[in-house]
Structure 1
Amino acid sequence: MPRPLKNKLPPLSQEDIDIGENITRYRKQKGLTQVQLAAQIGITQKLISDYETGRVRLNAEMIIRLSQALEVSSDTILGISPVEDASPVSLKISQRMRKIESLPPFDQKALLKTIDNALKGAGMDSSNSSGE
């Protein structure tokens, strides 16, 4: 059993570190559900939920696995490095974009043209052409 420290450790500079919130933020930025992230790492969705809500503490291996799956540094997940903030993307939109990217180029072009027309009809100008 470890001995108690005689001297108190200095407080961390960031008192509001919430590792669970960081996991949730980067999981959603990647457009992943808890189930998808869990499958990618090889654990259960319940465990992902427990990490995100702070019910379970991360061990070193899980920090590494999450940082690799979410493509952010371990320091970012732990709240040591500044938050790598990207504009949040809707999970539904992100999932649909992945499906569109898996279509053949001809089908992608046709679908993007349909989306461009819908946006134009809604009074929103599409800045990218459907030919990309």
Structure 2
Amino acid sequence: MAISNEERDFFIALGERITQLRKKNGITQTEMAEKLKVSQQTVQAWEAGRRRIKVSSLPSVAQIFTISLEELFGEAPEKIKSKRGPVPKWQQQIEEIDSLPKTKQKIISEMLGAMINNSRN
């Protein structure tokens, strides 16, 4: 069964989002394939938009990246859209940390962990 141009565009955009999320999270195609119990070639085909992702696989893909299905599809989650008031400073800092390379995120995470443990004692 052929797919429409609109469906093809959707799967290409979804593949691009998966690629971005996978790289942002420091996950290889092989690691992602192992988690989803598919081949690395399947993940590669999804990312290139050459193969459609099974609907049953979408929740697992979203779970790997700890995001909602809406976010996976490129939609902002409702709770973020309807949130009122300014974003707290700590949340702004977390978002800034999230935009850093993984190696720097790890260093900051270790520092924060040490500081939190130290403040508990």
| TM-score normalised by structure 1 residue count | 0.52
After superposition, what is the alpha-carbon deviation per residue over 1:20-74, rounded to whole angstroms, capped at 9, x for unaligned? 1110111112110001111111111110000000000112111111111121111
Query: Do structure 1's residue 57 and structure 2's residue 52 form an aligned pair?
Result: yes
Q: Which residue of structure 2 lines up, in the alignment, with residue 76 of structure 1?
A: 71
RMSD: 3.9
In 2, distance between residues paired with 1:89 and 1:25? 13
Q: How does 1:66-105 map to 2 (within 5 A)?
A: 66-79=61-74, 81-82=75-76, 86-87=98-99, 89-90=101-102, 93=103, 97=106
Q: Which residue of structure 2 lines up, in the alignment, with residue 25 of structure 1?
A: 20
What is the number of equivalent residue pairs in this alignment?
90
In 2, distance between residues paired with 1:88 and 1:22? 18
Kindly tell me: are residues 62 and 88 of structure 1, through their superposed partners in 2, closer, same or farther at Cα, counting changes over 3 Å?
farther
Q: Which amino acid aligns with 1:48?
A: V
Q: Which residue of structure 1 lines up, in the alignment, with residue 118 of structure 2?
A: none
Kindly tell me: are residues 55 and 70 of structure 1, through their superposed partners in 2, closer, same or farther at Cα, counting changes over 3 Å?
same
| Residue segments in structure 1 that go unaligned for 5+ positions in a row | 2-10, 102-107, 109-127
Query: Do structure 1's residue 48 and structure 2's residue 43 form an aligned pair?
Result: yes
In 1, distance between residues paired with 2:68 and 2:100? 18
Kindly tell me: are residues 27 and 88 of structure 1, through their superposed partners in 2, closer, same or farther at Cα, counting changes over 3 Å?
farther
| TM-score normalised by structure 2 residue count | 0.56
Identity of aligned residues (%): 25
User: Hey, which bits of structure 1, 4+ residues long, moved more than 3 A?
Assistant: none
